[in-house]
Each structure stands twice: as structure tokens, then as C-alpha cells.
């Protein structure tokens, strides 16, 4: 006889433990490698993610791989989607490492061809790249005066809807601050926090209400929210 254990995996696909039930001491709410939240079941159908198969009398030390798709409903797990959507930020990283500020600006223009709402103040300090440098400035967080409510995000001029960890345009171009990329139409909830990053322009702190990133909080720029 034996029994099937579950595994706990972070949203980026790092395995936390493949014996979640037998060794609960290894459970973690956040990934020690990347800081992302962890899950033990499929976000689409709630079926547990299968981990180690314990067989009585046998000690099997073979690693248990992290699956890419749910074996119950067939949906890809969040890390499968992350791998696809990281192409963009990977390119930003590549250019950031080898390129000059000029080439970074060129890249931004390439990905964000419409300049009508790119009047975003990106400042360069001491010759550092405005894209890569950490934002060490103060951030003033304001509470929304309007009623909190659920909305859906939309893609403006086909820009990716990037949920970031820090309310600044720098974060949109810095993959270390990317939490996930949301699908257009995803229902979200305004947590009540907003940050004015340029005159009249805001980042809103939101909570995702559906899809593979359900339950996750982060910042999204106002261009992805219809506030009217
Ligand atoms: Zn991780
Ligand atoms: Zn499933």
C-alpha cells in the first residue's frame, strides 16, 4: 500500500516541498527563492498538485518534478503561463544589461508605440539607467476617496497589463518587480490604496479576483483601469 502526497509550488514554479502532508514542517507561504506566493492545488479546478508517491517499505529518493499542467482539468499551472509572458521582461533585462540609456528608451518606444500617454516622468540619477535603478525615493500612498469596488483591467494600445510590486513606471520595466501579467478583462478589486506617480497619473493597489493569479495583490497603472 502507499499513498499520494501533494506538492507545494510557488507561482514561478519553484518547488517548496513534494511531501506537503507527510512533512508539513516544509510548508512555506512565500517562496524563499523569489518571494512569490505558494499554492498546493490547481487554481482552475482546485485539484491538489500531485507530489511524492509514498510506498510502504520503500524509500524513494527520486526527485518529484513540478508538473506543467493540471492532470485533472488540463489547464496550465501559473508557472507555465509565467514562462511564456516573461519573454518581454527578459528582453528588457537583456537590453538593460548590455545597452545604454538611449537603447533602453528606444526599446520602450518600440513596445509602447503610442506616445500619447507616455508623459511619465522617468528620471535618471547620476547616469544610472532610469529603467534598472532601484527607486529609493519616498512614495506617498493615498487612500481612494471613491468607493472601493471591483473592476476589470484592460489593455491600452496592446500594452501588457503588468502587476508590479512597487507603484512606479520603473517597476513596469523592471522584471524583478513583476508579479504577473494579467489577461484583459480579468476582474480585480481596488484595495483602496493609490499612488500618484506623475501629475494626475496613478498606480492603484489591486487584488486579482479570478484566473491563475487569483488572490494576489499588486500595483497596476491607471491606464489599465476604466475608472469612470
Ligand atoms: Zn519561487
Ligand atoms: Zn485543474
Q: Among all chains, which residue has been given the C-alpha cell 513606471?
A: 169
Within 99-196, residue ranges assigned H as helices are: 101-111, 169-172
Distance 148 CA to ligand 2 centre (A): 31
Question: Is residue 103 domain-shared with residue 50, that is, in the same domain?
Answer: no
Examine the fold and report which residue of 76, 104, 133 is the final residue of a domain before the chain moves on.
Answer: 76
Find the domain containing 96 and state its range.
Answer: 81-224
Instruction: Cell numbers for 95, please give them.
Output: 537590453
Distance 76 CA to ligand 1 centre (A): 17
Distance 79 CA to ligand 1 centre (A): 9
Question: Is residue 71 domain-shared with residue 87, that is, in the same domain?
Answer: no
Question: Is residue 40 domain-shared with residue 146, that is, in the same domain?
Answer: no
- Is residue 198 within 8 Å of 133, Cβ to Cβ? no
Question: Is residue 93 domain-shared with residue 146, that is, in the same domain?
Answer: yes
From first to last of its 228 residues, the chain has per-residue pLDDT tens of: 678 999 999 999 999 999 998 888 999 999 999 999 999 999 999 999 999 998 888 787 788 999 999 999 999 999 987 555 455 555 555 544 544 454 444 444 444 444 343 333 444 444 444 443 344 445 555 555 444 567 888 888 888 899 998 888 888 888 888 899 898 888 888 887 888 888 889 899 899 988 888 889 999 999 898 765
Distance 46 CA to ligand 2 centre (A): 6
Question: Is residue 38 domain-shared with residue 92, that is, in the same domain?
Answer: no
Question: Is residue 64 domain-shared with residue 85, that is, in the same domain?
Answer: no
Examine the fold and report which residue of 46, 76, 106 is the final residue of a domain before the chain moves on.
Answer: 76
Distance 30 CA to ligand 1 centre (A): 8
User: What is the CB neighbour count within 10 angstroms for residue 151?
Assistant: 17
| C-alpha to C-alpha distances, 113 to 117, 121, 157, 158, nearest whole angstrom | 10, 17, 8, 10
Question: Is residue 61 domain-shared with residue 100, that is, in the same domain?
Answer: no
Question: Is residue 180 domain-shared with residue 70, that is, in the same domain?
Answer: no
Examine the fold and report which residue of 37, 55, 76 is the final residue of a domain before the chain moves on.
Answer: 76
- From the CA of 79, the nearest ligand is 1
- From the CA of 49, the nearest ligand is 2
Structural domain tally of the chain?
Answer: 2
Burial (CB count <10 Å: 0-12, 13-18, 19+), residue 137: exposed
Distance 77 CA to ligand 2 centre (A): 8
Distance 40 CA to ligand 2 centre (A): 11
Q: pTM value?
A: 0.39
Question: Is residue 91 domain-shared with residue 200, that is, in the same domain?
Answer: yes
Question: Is residue 69 domain-shared with residue 161, that is, in the same domain?
Answer: no
Distance 60 CA to ligand 2 centre (A): 27
- Is residue 189 within 8 Å of 207, Cβ to Cβ? yes
Distance 53 CA to ligand 1 centre (A): 23
Which pLDDT value is given to residue 82?
58
Question: Is residue 136 domain-shared with residue 155, that is, in the same domain?
Answer: yes
| Alpha carbon 42 to its chain's center | 17
- From the CA of 33, the nearest ligand is 1
- From the CA of 29, the nearest ligand is 1
Within 99-191, residue ranges assigned H as helices are: 101-111, 169-172
Question: Is residue 85 domain-shared with residue 192, that is, in the same domain?
Answer: yes
Amino acid at each position: 500500500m502507499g499513498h499520494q502526497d501533494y506538492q507545494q509550488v510557488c507561482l514561478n514554479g519553484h518547488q517548496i516541498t513534494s511531501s506537503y502532508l507527510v512533512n508539513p514542517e516544509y510548508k512555506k507561504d512565500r517562496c524563499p527563492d523569489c518571494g512569490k506566493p505558494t499554492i498546493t492545488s490547481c487554481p482552475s479546478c482546485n485539484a491538489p498538485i500531485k507530489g511524492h508517491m509514498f510506498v510502504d517499505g520503500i524509500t524513494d529518493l527520486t526527485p518529484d518534478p513540478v508538473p506543467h499542467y493540471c492532470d485533472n482539468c488540463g489547464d496550465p499551472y501559473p508557472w507555465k503561463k509565467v514562462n511564456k509572458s516573461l519573454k518581454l521582461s527578459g528582453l528588457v533585462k537583456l537590453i538593460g544589461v548590455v545597452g545604454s540609456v538611449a537603447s533602453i528608451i528606444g526599446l520602450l518606444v518600440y513596445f509602447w508605440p503610442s506616445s500619447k500617454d507616455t508623459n511619465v516622468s522617468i528620471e535618471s540619477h547620476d547616469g544610472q539607467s532610469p529603467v534598472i535603478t532601484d527607486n529609493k525615493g519616498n512614495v506617498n500612498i493615498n487612500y481612494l476617496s471613491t468607493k472601493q469596488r471591483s473592476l476589470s483591467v484592460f489593455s491600452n494600445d496592446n500594452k501588457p497589463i503588468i502587476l508590479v510590486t512597487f507603484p512606479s513606471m520603473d517597476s513596469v520595466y523592471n522584471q524583478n518587480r513583476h508579479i504577473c501579467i494579467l489577461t484583459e478583462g480579468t476582474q480585480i478589486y481596488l484595495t483602496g490604496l493609490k499612488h500618484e506617480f506623475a501629475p494626475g497619473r496613478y498606480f492603484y493597489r489591486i487584488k486579482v479576483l479570478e484566473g491563475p493569479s487569483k488572490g494576489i495583490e499588486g500595483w497596476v497603472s491607471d491606464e489599465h483601469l476604466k475608472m469612470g
